[in-house]
Chains A and B, each alone.
Chain A
Amino acid sequence: MWTFGVAAALLLAAAALAFFALRQNANLFYTPEVLAEKGLPTPGKDVKVGGWVEPGSLTYPGDGSEMVFTIIDNSPDTITVSFTGIAPDLFREGQGVVAIGSFDASGKFTARQVLAKHDENYQPRELRPLGAGPDQNAS
């Protein structure tokens, strides 16, 4: 009988822990439109942002290790993303991109990971509702 007691206690503890962890760490997904609607999340909290890389927005402000670009969607709003690291193999201006990281108080997004398409056919899942991007005819 006691095994069931221990098992039940452990399960409860695990469920509570998991619930707490999910509340803290489930990353919400922001497109520029969603961000304008809901407002800035807590600065420093891990979130995901996504949309298309605005054509012509990509710059390298420092020695080249940092890249800064703007994410757009079908709304007039934008998100500015800074990322220090290697761009994914299929990162292009005009194409879909998802970035994981956090906002600062001024609304600038610092990414610690940037995901683009895996191959020519794959779009990140979160971006499917956005439909075709601006460069779909270009390639």
Chain B
Amino acid sequence: MIELGHLAAFLALAASLAQGVLGLMGVRALAGRAALVALGVMTLSFLTLVVAFARSDFSLALVANNSHTLKPMLYKVAGAWGNHEGSMALWCLVTLGFGGAGALWMRTGRDVFEARTLGVQGWLATGALSYLLFASSPYLRLDPAPLQGAGLNPILQDPALAFHPPMLYLGYVGFSFVFALAAAGLMEARIDRVWAREARRWALAAFIPLTLGIALGSYWAYYELGWGGWWFWDPVENASLMPWLIGAALLHSVAVTEKRGNFAAWTALLAVLAFLFSVMGAFLVRSGVLTSVHAFAVDPKRGMVLLTGLVVYGTFALGLFALRAPKLEGGKPWQMLSREGALAVNNVVLVVAALTVLLGTLFPLMAEAAGRTISVGEPYFRLTFVPMLAALLAILPVVQVWSWGKADLSMLWKWAAGGVALVAVFMALGVGLWDIPLGAAFGLALGVWLLFGSVWELRRRAVTWGRVFKMPLRVWGMTLAHIGLGVFVIGAVVETTQRYEATLALPAGGSGTVAGWNITLEDVRAIEGPNWYADKADITARRGSAKAEMAPTKRYYPAARMPTTETAIHKTGTGDLYVALGDRRDVDGETRWVFRVYFNPLIDLVYLGVLLMGLGAFFSLLPRGRIKTAV
């Protein structure tokens, strides 16, 4: 079977090569057909891999190294992409998927442009497939086949993590198609409104899964690592945040190009950068050059290949950009205080924010090259990234009412006064009533300000409340995304500043109090699962009349000789009561179990906010062809 898959991958490589050559020659129909053939055979090839994992075919080296017969079926299947080679096969499949989707659904009426887009995508696919087949082949056999596999890293055996890599890859690799569109547009020096309408759709198609993928990864870290938090400014997290920020900047910039024809060069540059940052993310994660709590499937030699790819893609696209950007045509005239001006500031801040994340992520590497061991943690990001974003969000409700070309400033003072009043009220409440730090009060005010501003802007566009639901989906998309941002800010501020945590060391029958909750350890029992055994604590948590049975567990996976923490989470409506079981300790001859107990207030708002942003982007993608465009 797997030989068939191996052969199919070679066919996909040949078809991609044909797509690359035919596309750059400008033959739209044939390039499109080649893209579909490549996608078809690669799907087949990937399926043979998945089947090999599902059937625990240990004659395949990849399966033997990463799977186990006792694993539940979901993790057998997900194991196909839970390792380096398999995830590269997924990367190839998604690259070809976007090529095929582009062949079917591009609608610009420009044959040569579309052919070239497919051509560039074909070359990107050729690169990815060559890397897969010649540097990290998942199709290799083992002889003799072992009787049992080595198992998948246990912390990856989790439902959220089964779907996290495919989502993230849809995002990362989705930007490859935006990159191809930009390259093809630059080749003919035509980054105009038609181009922007097309590019915007594909940028959204990449941005949505990227957003959801990051949320899934963060949620996994929240309940699986047992550290209570949802974002650790870890290099691997930063690697996904950077393309997200560039993607967010791109979505705002491409809207200007679509509506007004402005920012053409800048939009093309962002379209290129979004993919380059994605590849760089893959390089950082896979090469092992950075220490990470999420790192897996690390291999320095392969890192070099990815780095080479990054340099080749970057040189090609940025060189093309340097040659053609001066020839791009401008759009309609605009003044500094206008929607264009506001969105320019939005873009500069988002890109600079991405660059500060880049600096914080790479600085330890640079220091190491200089012979010093240094790490950069949360305080750096809190000092740089957070104030920049806060400033951006603070002006959003004020400037989003500005019109294209020239803003009507008659409302400016009312908005500014309203904003300042809101912040003042929250500061006073925060200090006087809620007893929270000033920064937290400011953050809360910012979130509420965003919610209010987004809803108000929707109403302003609809003129009356009654017509709000007749607004185009695209306006709703923007509104939802900005509401999501506000919800996220409120959740993030409250969770980060008001989180309560404590450590308890309890004997069976003992109890302690955390955040008003009385935590009683009833007993600790030994239990067994399909491929693990575990210590399971039975805990009763009481607060007033509220009562919850919780069962934090520590699992041990013999195949991988590795324990994992299964936290217990009780949703209270105002936040999560979160208990992680630690090690057993003998204190004065008595056996005690250590627990880390957190109360994470409003943590759900963090994820709800991100989901709303994804949903908003989805709404923006829906109304195809409803926007009038001059061709």
A58: nearest chain-B partner, CB-CB:
B585
Whether the Cβ atoms of B388 and A21 lie closer than 8 Å is no
Tell me which residues across on chain A come within 8 A of B315, comparing CB atoms. Answer: none
Tell me which residues across on chain B come within 8 A of A26, comparing CB atoms. Answer: 363-364, 367, 374-376, 380
Residue A138 interfacial (CB < 8 Å): no
Q: How far is the CB of A119 from chain B (nearest CB, A)?
A: 5
Tell me which residues across on chain B come within 8 A of A2, comparing CB atoms. Answer: 336
Residue B563 interfacial (CB < 8 Å): yes
Q: Mark A1-21, 1 if CB is under 8 A from B, else 0.
A: 011001100110010011011
Residue of B373, B383, B561, B585 most packed against chain A (CB within 10 A): B373
B335: nearest chain-A partner, CB-CB:
A2
Q: How far is the CB of A83 from chain B (nearest CB, A)?
A: 9
Q: Which of A17, A27, A87, A91 contacts B374 (CB 8 A)?
A: A27
Q: How far is the CB of A82 from chain B (nearest CB, A)?
A: 12
Whether the Cβ atoms of A21 and B291 lie closer than 8 Å is no
Whether the Cβ atoms of A3 and B380 lie closer than 8 Å is no
Whether the Cβ atoms of B379 and A46 lie closer than 8 Å is yes
The segment from B186-194, B210-218, B347-355 that touches chain A is: B347-355
Residue B562 interfacial (CB < 8 Å): yes
Known pairs A17-B383, A86-B503; A29 contacts B344 (CB<8 A): no
The segment from A59-67, A68-76, A103-111 that touches chain B is: A59-67
Residue A43 interfacial (CB < 8 Å): no
Residue A36 interfacial (CB < 8 Å): no
Whether the Cβ atoms of B376 and A22 lie closer than 8 Å is yes
Tell me which residues across on chain A come within 8 A of B359, comparing CB atoms. Answer: 18, 22
Whether the Cβ atoms of A21 and B380 lie closer than 8 Å is yes
Q: Mark B365-401, 1 if CB is under 8 A from A, else 0.
A: 0010000111111011001100110000000000000
Residue B582 interfacial (CB < 8 Å): yes
Whether the Cβ atoms of A10 and B374 lie closer than 8 Å is no
Tell me which residues across on chain B come within 8 A of A119, comparing CB atoms. Answer: 153, 560, 562
Q: Report how far A29 CA is from B372 CA in the complex, Å.
A: 8
Q: Report how far A86 CA is from B581 CA in the complex, Å.
A: 8
Known pairs A26-B363, A64-B592, A89-B564; A84 contacts B503 (CB<8 A): yes
Residue A85 interfacial (CB < 8 Å): yes
**Which residues of chain B (204-239) have a CB below 8 Å from chain A?**
226
Whether the Cβ atoms of B387 and A17 lie closer than 8 Å is yes
Known pairs A7-B348, A25-B380, A26-B374; A86 contacts B583 (CB<8 A): yes
Q: Report how far A84 CA is from B585 CA in the complex, Å.
A: 13
Chain B: interface residue total (CB-CB under 8 A):
51
- Tell me the total A-B contact number using a CB cutoff of 8 A: 123
Residue B356 interfacial (CB < 8 Å): yes
Known pairs A14-B388, A63-B505; A28 contacts B374 (CB<8 A): yes
Tell me which residues across on chain A come within 8 A of B153, comparing CB atoms. Answer: 119
**Which residues of chain B (593-612) have a CB below 8 Å from chain A?**
594-596
Whether the Cβ atoms of B594 and A27 lie closer than 8 Å is no
Q: Report how far A14 CA is from B620 CA in the complex, Å.
A: 31
Q: Which of A6, A62, A86 contacts B582 (CB 8 A)?
A: A86
Whether the Cβ atoms of B376 and A27 lie closer than 8 Å is yes
Whether the Cβ atoms of B505 and A28 lie closer than 8 Å is no
Whether the Cβ atoms of A124 and B562 lie closer than 8 Å is no
Q: Which of B372, B379, B583, B596 contacts A25 (CB 8 A)?
A: B379
Whether the Cβ atoms of B348 and A6 lie closer than 8 Å is yes
Tell me which residues across on chain A come within 8 A of B564, comparing CB atoms. Answer: 89
Tell me which residues across on chain B come within 8 A of A28, comparing CB atoms. Answer: 372-374
Whether the Cβ atoms of B562 and A25 lie closer than 8 Å is no
Whether the Cβ atoms of B291 and A17 lie closer than 8 Å is no
B381: nearest chain-A partner, CB-CB:
A21
Whether the Cβ atoms of A89 and B562 lie closer than 8 Å is yes
Residue B473 interfacial (CB < 8 Å): no
Q: Report how far A126 CA is from B291 CA in the complex, Å.
A: 9
Q: Report how far A66 CA is from B563 CA in the complex, Å.
A: 21
Whether the Cβ atoms of A24 and B383 lie closer than 8 Å is yes
Whether the Cβ atoms of B585 and A100 lie closer than 8 Å is no
A67: nearest chain-B partner, CB-CB:
B585
**Which residues of chain B (1-30) have a CB below 8 Å from chain A?**
none
Tell me which residues across on chain A come within 8 A of B367, comparing CB atoms. Answer: 26
Whether the Cβ atoms of A25 and B348 lie closer than 8 Å is no
Q: Report how far A24 CA is from B378 CA in the complex, Å.
A: 12
Residue B580 interfacial (CB < 8 Å): yes
Q: Report how far A28 CA is from B581 CA in the complex, Å.
A: 31
Tell me which residues across on chain B come within 8 A of A64, comparing CB atoms. Answer: 505, 585, 587, 592, 594
Q: Report how far A26 CA is from B360 CA in the complex, Å.
A: 9
Known pairs A10-B349, A100-B377; A86 contacts B596 (CB<8 A): yes
Residue B121 interfacial (CB < 8 Å): no
Tell me which residues across on chain A come within 8 A of B355, comparing CB atoms. Answer: 14
Q: Report how far A17 CA is from B383 CA in the complex, Å.
A: 8
Q: Report how far A91 CA is from B344 CA in the complex, Å.
A: 50
A23: nearest chain-B partner, CB-CB:
B380
Tell me which residues across on chain A come within 8 A of B595, comparing CB atoms. Answer: 86
Residue A90 interfacial (CB < 8 Å): yes
Residue B45 interfacial (CB < 8 Å): no
Whether the Cβ atoms of A10 and B562 lie closer than 8 Å is no
Whether the Cβ atoms of A65 and B594 lie closer than 8 Å is yes
Q: How far is the CB of A102 from chain B (nearest CB, A)?
A: 12
A7: nearest chain-B partner, CB-CB:
B348
Residue B66 interfacial (CB < 8 Å): no
Residue B565 interfacial (CB < 8 Å): yes
Tell me which residues across on chain A come within 8 A of B345, comparing CB atoms. Answer: 6
Residue B504 interfacial (CB < 8 Å): yes
Whether the Cβ atoms of B379 and A125 lie closer than 8 Å is no
Whether the Cβ atoms of A85 and B373 lie closer than 8 Å is no
Q: Which of B336, B363, B504, B562 contacts A120 (CB 8 A)?
A: B562
Q: Which of A27, A89, A125 contacts B565 (CB 8 A)?
A: A89
Q: Report how far A84 CA is from B293 CA in the complex, Å.
A: 20
Closest 10 CB pairs of A and B: A64-B505, A86-B582, A29-B373, A21-B383, A64-B587, A25-B379, A65-B505, A65-B503, A64-B592, A89-B563
Q: Which residues of A contact B (CB under 8 A)?
A: 2-3, 6-7, 10-11, 14, 17-18, 20-22, 24-29, 46, 48, 60, 62-67, 84-87, 89-91, 100, 118-120, 124-126
* A-B contact list, 17 entries, CB within 8 Å: A11-B352, A14-B352, A14-B355, A20-B383, A25-B376, A27-B376, A28-B372, A46-B379, A62-B505, A64-B587, A87-B582, A90-B563, A100-B377, A118-B295, A120-B562, A124-B291, A126-B291
Q: Which residues of B contact A (CB under 8 A)?
A: 153, 226, 291, 293, 295, 336, 341, 344-345, 348-349, 352, 355-356, 359-360, 363-364, 367, 372-377, 379-380, 383-384, 387-388, 503-505, 554, 560-565, 580-583, 585, 587, 592, 594-596
